[in-house]
A and B are shown apart, each in its own frame.
Chain A
Amino acid sequence: MKRLSIQKIALALAAPVAAAIVSLVVSSVAVLASHKSPMLAYKTMWEFGTQGGSLMEALNSATPYYIAAIAIAVTFQAGLFNIGVEGQLRLGALFSAYIGAMFTLPPVLHVLAVFIVAMTIGGIWASIAAYLKVKRGVNEVISTIMLNSLAVGMTSFLFAKYFAVITEGSNNMTTKELPTTAWFPDLVPLLTKLGLPEIQGASVNGMLVIAIALGFIFWFVVNRTRFGFELRASGANPIAARVSGVNSKKMTVVALVISGAIAGLSGLPAVLGETHAYNMGFRSGIGFSAIAVALLGRNSAGGMAFSALLFGFLEVSSRALELIDIAPETYVIMQGSILLSSVIAYEVVRRFKLTLQSKELAKAVSA
């Protein structure tokens, strides 16, 4: 029995360790290809990345990834794949910045109102894909990809034509700044009160709290409620789910709309916590990186938290590579190779486990 548990641990660790090794090898080759030392690169990254300020930045960049990854994971649980997070979050961010600046409310209420706007817009946009899937049989992967392109076109059109205010003497177009009641407070003052050493110019986006809360809610709803069970059932085996009374069409719609609503939120750390408006510099590609985060984290709340942090860390720490003349884009290679090799490694381990089980079963039966 004791040997078995060691085996279990080994199996659980095998996939991530294998993936880490493969991606280290791949990125070392990439660095070697530019005639630089991989060891030096890793050392530089580690030293820069583990400084307090860098860690906070990594946290900030992980926050939207994590929220968006949860959005994707909701659909994964239902056997769907919402690739359209990028579009949903862009539209959500634009509209919430625009509408949020039109009125003032008491502090907390205002933030809540902006949340509702972002979630509504994201949900509505995702519901197009849901409608097409349920009523017209269009694969949601294709439709959300197309909706992404549409959303990008629409945001740039609406932003440039209607939503942006042009300030005198500035080339940067931006929406009207949100009133301070809609700003999400930074966590640094709180952290210093808790005894963390002060760092010059550091900031921790307050939406981190929302991200963590969402992670808990996601975990609880998926694993501990009837709704979560039905969601997973309709994903795992639609026919069996239908036979046992789960309306899988309804589940499809609900999953996609919830996913879109959460995706809408993932644009808010930037809008509410950093720029306090939607401007031309709005970071693109969060929705796509989040797909990688969700896949790497295997759609579990904890796993995605880890992979979001990892992605944030790699992104921030690789900036130091510029100092030693290595392209900072190396981190893209690291992320990509970790993703692909972990996806494969988990599948290999799963198959190995199955073989082990069937062998054990055969032994038990023949004995």
Chain B
Amino acid sequence: MKNKGTKLLLNATYLLLLLSIIRVITGATDLTSVGTASAALLLSVPIVLAGLGGLFSERAGVVNIGLEGMMILGAWAGGFIGSQHGPWLGLVAAVIFGAVGALLHAIATISFGVDHVVSGVAINIMAAGLVRYLSTILYQGGSWPGPSQSPDIKEIPLNGLPVLSGGHFFGWQSPDILTPIAEKHWFFISDLVGIIRGITGNLSYVTLVAMLFVPLAFWVLWKTSFGLRLRSAGEAPVAAESLGVNVYAMKYAGVLISGGLAGLGGGFLAIVAANHYQENQVAGRGYIGLAALLFGNYRPGGILAGAALFGFADALQLRDSQAIHALILLIVAIMAYLVYRDIKKGKMLSGVISFVMGAALLWFYFAVDELPGQLVSMTPYIATLLVMSLASQRLRMPAADGMPYRRGGLR
């Protein structure tokens, strides 16, 4: 265990070192700035929540493409209730709405054995239609400013670590030591400090709670008997049933928790990341959450890593297209590593392919000064595809994931 921890720390250090080298070379200071780290965290949270939602569902053996729809429901409920009764109730409503969407998915897939992907896609289509209908009615009724936008929601206060990141407690405004260091642009140190300051300062309380869900999910799924039963429903439902586990109940629990988390992720988008609900606010984040789940090999820590990656890509594209340009160099570096690995393993062909792609990217880097906006906005999706194509082969999904289960062995 300790060995694994040090390895992880070492890898993170290498990555950061690489980033700071690239920052120094390209002068794209936003690559590791406080603002980027802070935005990356903010944008990772909904993806983490969606990914954890997917985790509970798929560990119980139900594929959940419907995460997107559940997030949409959550975002809408967050905007609707949040603008009327305050942000906290809005978040509660988001959880409930997400769970209602999940209940539909559970009834269809678990009780009636509908194909999981089919049901999930149906729920996505239905959720998008439902909120559009409801928003239109509210707009016609005069309580919403537009047919695709809710009134503003009160803000949830922000806070940070005391002394280091300028948090405030009981009326005392602590100093902020880290920001000046981050702005010095010292090699490595400022990069590290910038990221730490970004993820420990100006945090929403909701972000904190959401991040705590990561260890909590691990604890529930791997350290409690409930978690063991839930996972057994996803690995070997027949064996689980024979040992007295109520497989249907476990699957229902998994899918409902999944919907609640996805709904919260949607609510977060409306209430914390923005201050109102807007149509298309979710914009595929449910799917990216699913990709983070696969990237993370159906484990909470991996989901966090995947979500951080997507959040980082998303933050960079929102803040600064110059930084995305610098990021091409990072991909070139990764390609160089792949070439080295392939050649060491004797896989000449794939080594050559990687080399050619890396060289083309390097040429692209020098040929283009700045990427146009529409292309930059594609970064998270390209990242998803790249990562999936590199990571998919070492995945191990729950053994009975996606299979309809019927008590008594009937199909």
Contact surface of A with B, Cβ cutoff 8 Å? 30, 33-34, 81, 83, 132, 136-139, 141-143, 145-147, 149-150, 153-154, 156-157, 160-161, 288-289, 291-292, 295, 325, 327, 329-330, 332-333, 335-337, 339-340, 343-344, 347-348, 351, 354-355
Contact = CB atoms under 8 A, between A and B. Distances in A.
B125 interface: yes
A323 to B, nearest CB: 14
B14 to A, nearest CB: 24
Contacts of A339: 122, 125-126
B154 interface: no
A308 to B, nearest CB: 15
A136 B389 contact: yes
Contacts of A327: 133, 136-137, 140
B129 A138 contact: no
Please list the 8 inter-chain residue pairs (A to B) with the smallest Cβ-Cβ separation, ordered nearest first: A332-B129, A336-B126, A157-B374, A153-B378, A327-B136, A137-B392, A136-B389, A329-B133
Interface in B304-336: none
B334 to A, nearest CB: 16
A336 B107 CA distance: 16
B291 A146 contact: yes
Number of contact residues on B: which range applies? 35 or more
A146 B117 contact: no
B403 to A, nearest CB: 14
B219 to A, nearest CB: 28
29 contacts: A33-B137, A83-B121, A132-B388, A132-B389, A137-B395, A138-B389, A138-B392, A142-B294, A142-B388, A143-B388, A145-B287, A146-B291, A150-B385, A153-B378, A154-B374, A288-B125, A289-B125, A291-B125, A295-B121, A327-B133, A330-B133, A332-B133, A339-B125, A340-B122, A343-B114, A343-B122, A344-B112, A347-B112, A351-B410
A83 to B, nearest CB: 7
A121 to B, nearest CB: 18
B132 A329 contact: yes
Point out which of B126, B291, B375 has the most chain A C-beta atoms below 10 A from its C-beta: B126
B105 to A, nearest CB: 10
B411 A336 contact: no
Contact of A344 (B108, B117, B384, B395): B108
B392 A150 contact: no
Interface of B: 65, 104, 107-108, 112-114, 117-119, 121-123, 125-126, 128-130, 132-133, 136-137, 140, 284, 287, 290-291, 294, 372, 374-375, 377-378, 381-382, 384-385, 388-390, 392-393, 395, 410-411
Contact of B393 (A136, A153, A295): A136
Given A333-B129, A336-B125, A340-B108, 18 more contacts: A34-B137, A132-B389, A137-B393, A141-B65, A146-B287, A150-B378, A150-B381, A153-B374, A153-B381, A156-B374, A289-B125, A292-B125, A295-B118, A336-B129, A340-B119, A348-B112, A351-B112, A355-B410
A262 B129 CA distance: 26
Contacts of B287: 142, 145-146
A113 B378 CA distance: 31
Contacts of B381: 146-147, 149-150, 153
Contacts of B294: 139, 142
B183 to A, nearest CB: 33
A136 B392 contact: yes
Contacts of B130: 332-333, 336
A142 B291 contact: yes
B392 A347 contact: no
A28 to B, nearest CB: 13
Contacts of A161: 372
A314 to B, nearest CB: 11
B372 A157 contact: yes
Contacts of A330: 133
A146 B385 CA distance: 7
Contacts of A150: 378, 381-382, 385
Contacts of A81: 117, 121
Contacts of B284: 145, 149
B129 A329 contact: yes
A138 B388 contact: yes
